[in-house]
Amino acid sequence: MYPNIVCLGGGTGLPNLLRGLKSYSDRITAIVTVADDGGSSGVIRNELKIPPPGDIKNCILALAYTEPLMEELFQYRFSSGSLKGHSFGNLFLAAMTEMLGNFELAIKESSKILAVKGTVLPSTLEDVTLEAIYEDGEKASGESCIPNSRKRISKVMLKPSDAKPLDDALEAVEKADLIILGPGSLYTSLIPNLLVKDLAEAISKSKAKKIYIVNVMTQPGETDGYTASDHVKAVIEHSNPNVMEYVIINTGQIPDHLLSRYLSEGSTYVECDKDVIEEMGYTVVADSIVNPTDVAHHSPVKLAETIMKLI
């Protein structure tokens, strides 16, 4: 029997995780943030008054069993004219939503077309805005604006604060054998899902194994100078100490040439301060789970192997 897995996040981290996990189960539910307001997704959200499709599209493609050309088509971005910057996949999801009159149904039907093994769900269908308060008391509104000031973030909030999750998302959490948080942008991809209060509460009450995957590198404007334990503290401060039991941290080496490039962009290696996290009551799994090519991202294969060993 395949394990029932629920993954929460967004950005590039969640699709990367899904690609590895789909070799082990076809009972995967991805719960995806809808706070994005930048780029093609932001324009579509603003003009068509639908949730931003970009992160959803990327998770659908990650779980799809389809021709490489089809994935290439859905990721294709127009380079000129009024459609410049838009990806075909975002426009496809927007068209399906208008045609069917329902964003959730559009995701389901798109998933059928792309032979998706698993389910992709938005964390809420409400029109939510992410807001941040920095340590100096200043505020910022809008997911795409939050990292721009490069100030240290004290807290992020979702407006409206009582946004409701989908019933299907709550049901998936209830039935899960395993719940995975991250990897991905801490304040703008992962935490927005946990700010949907009923969803965070369901995760904290779940009897499933619960894992948080810490990012490999810090993110300029979001997690400058953060250690692994700083990431953990931010997650539980915005949700509940019971949303995780295990913390997976990369200890694999990043080549010097890649590190220096990240450093020039203001990003550093996330320090594995294992003892601090263990004192907080969590089990740390430290392993080499990167596959550095031109980016320092988790290896989908190594990450999935490490996760499956836990269950």
Q: What is the average per-residue pLDDT within 182-191?
A: 97
What integer pLDDT is reported at residue 111 of this predicted model?
97
Residues 190-211, mean pLDDT to the nearest whole number: 98
Q: What digits encode the pLDDT tens for the residues 1-45?
A: 899 999 999 999 999 999 999 999 999 999 999 999 999 999 999
The reported pLDDT for the residue numbered 67 is 85
Q: What is the mean pLDDT of residues 254-281?
A: 95
pLDDT at 65 over 80: yes
> Which pLDDT value is given to residue 214?
98
Q: In the chain, pLDDT over 90 holds for what percent of residues? A: 95
- State residue 244's pLDDT score: 98
Q: What is the mean pLDDT of the segment spanning 92-112?
A: 97
pLDDT at 55: 97
| pLDDT tens digits, one per residue of 120-154 | 999 999 999 999 999 999 999 999 999 998 899 99
List pLDDT tens digits, range 223-266.
999 999 999 999 999 999 999 999 999 999 999 999 999 999 99
- Distances in Å between the alpha carbon of 170 and those of 6, 208, 251? 10, 13, 33
- What pLDDT does 293 receive? 77
Contact 250, 216 (CB under 8 A): yes
> Is residue 155 very low, low, confident or very high in pLDDT (cuts 50, 70, 90)?
very high
pLDDT-derived band of residue 292, with 50, 70 and 90 as boundaries? confident
Counting runs of H as helices and runs of E as strands, what totals does the chain give? 13, 10
Q: Taking the domains of the chain in order of start, what are their residue ranges?
A: 1-33+165-311, 36-122
At residue 311, the pLDDT reads: 85
The whole-model pTM stands at: 0.96
Q: What is the pLDDT of residue 202?
A: 98
DSSP element (H, E) containing 250: strand 246-250
Residue type at position 41: S
- What is the DSSP pairing of strand 5-9 with strand 209-213? unpaired
Residue 164: pLDDT band (50, 70, 90) is very high
Pairing of strands 5-9, 28-32: parallel
Which residues are within 8 A (CB) of 28 and not within 5 positions of it... i.e. 6 or more apart? 5, 6, 7, 18, 21, 22, 63, 117, 118, 119
- The share of the chain scoring above pLDDT 70, in percent, equals 100
The confidence score (pLDDT) of residue 284 equals: 98
Give me the residues paired with residue 171 across strands: none
The pLDDT of 200-208, averaged and rounded, is: 98
What integer pLDDT is reported at residue 1 of this predicted model? 80
Among residues 213, 182, 189, the alpha carbon closest in space to that of 310 is found at 213
Fold of 1-33+165-311: Rossmann fold (3.40.50)
